[in-house]
Amino acid sequence: MSIKRGVSLYSYQQAQFFKQMNWKDMIREVHDNLHTDGIEIIDEATIRDYPFPSEQFIFDWNNEMARWGMKAVTMDIYLDVHQFRDHVMTHAEAAERLKNDIKIAARLGFENVRCLCMVPIDVIEMALPTAEKYNVRIGKEIHAPLPIKRRLTTAWVDPFLDYRMAQQIMDLADRTGSKYVGLVPDMGIFQHSPTRVSIAYRKRHTNIPEAVDFVVENRFNYNMDEMLAKIQEKYPGSDLTDPKSMQGLMLRKSSADPEDLREIAPYIVSIHGKFYEMTEIEGQPGHYEDKSIDYVNPIKILKECGYTGYINSEYEGQRDQQDMGYENLPNEVEEIRRHHEMLTRLCAD
């Protein structure tokens, strides 16, 4: 069996915003033009009246999915810890919210729910009996800048990220013997360089665009502190003055090693196919790639490990172009079709 293809409907976010497509249109696009069946959603972006959807919506969703023979792969969930407004949720309250999301996912036919990487491990463990009861797996996302595993060569540590996250999930699965908890790697962890769209966005929103070019071209030559000093020396008055404004431009190595997929492959629930811009490969008409993200090596390793789950396209490049005006917006439908050309080619046996 081959790796399967799907789409997160989040990829069509601006088409939804401008009322060019609704969720039914998106499902038909995946069926008719991508010739695949995998569907992923963000709960509150698609589910009307979430977190208390009506019986009518649940019927409509299941009817539409059955009509086109589609597969409800993963429902992305968020824990709004300020839901009650008068206090921050306790871990026990967060677990109750997660349990409710699992029940919603089950009623909509989803096999998995995806939790953000910040969700505490004990919250997931408290919800695990509900996941088992409703036959819905919980997948915790590995999102950049998290690695799959912390390597000694990592030079900078974000104090707000837990670099043991993947290991904690695997330990939980092994300790409980449960098949209902796992991981959702995001392909953004294999991004190795700044995207063209992010570079262009930063140049449009800085007072000295040439400074952005200097950072990108020289990012291998200086560390962050050295680069900040160099910018002020060469471009006095530049507003590139802090690591936050420079972090994406300084990207020179992916946060995860594709080889580490071998260890987590048995625990993968589904995969986010993050991408920002699909461009035609030179000398290969009709074949596309995202120049900033390594897909070739991770997919090769996943195939060697026998992974046959879904990679669901997650297009985010439009977010760096939405400042340019409606007439200059990228074509989300075309970008996702190009992404699936790549996935079809790389995932083939």
The ranges of the chain annotated as CATH 3.20.20.150 are 4-192+253-347
Q: For residue 266, give every residue at least 6 positions away whose Cβ sits within 8 Å of its Cβ, in sequence order, or none.
A: 305
Among 240, 247, 253, 205, CA closest to 224: 247
> Alpha-carbon distance 317 to 302, whole Å?
25
For residue 319, what is the enclosing H or E element?
none
CATH match of 4-192+253-347 with 3.20.20.150:
yes
Hey, what are 92's tokens? 């026990």
Q: Tokens 């539409």 belong to which residue?
A: 64
Q: What is the DSSP string of 250-261?
A: T--S-SS-GGGH
> Alpha-carbon distance 242 to 227, whole Å?
10
> Alpha-carbon distance 112 to 50, whole Å?
17
Per-position pLDDT tens, the chain of length 349: 899 999 999 999 999 999 999 999 999 999 999 999 999 999 999 999 999 999 999 999 999 999 999 999 999 999 888 888 889 999 999 999 999 999 999 999 999 999 998 899 999 999 999 999 999 999 999 999 889 987 644 444 555 566 788 999 999 999 999 999 999 999 999 999 999 999 999 999 999 999 999 999 999 999 999 999 999 999 999 999 988 888 899 999 999 999 999 999 999 999 999 999 999 999 999 999 999 999 999 999 999 999 999 999 999 999 999 999 899 999 999 999 999 999 999 999 8
Sheet of 112-115: strand order equals 181-185, 137-142, 112-115, 71-76, 38-42, 4-8, 310-315, 271-275
Q: What is the DSSP string of 117-141?
A: TTS-HHHHHHHHHHHHHHT-EEEEE
Number of helices followed by number of strands (H, E) in the chain: 14, 10
**0.85 surpassed by pTM:** yes
Hey, what are 21's tokens? 């497509």
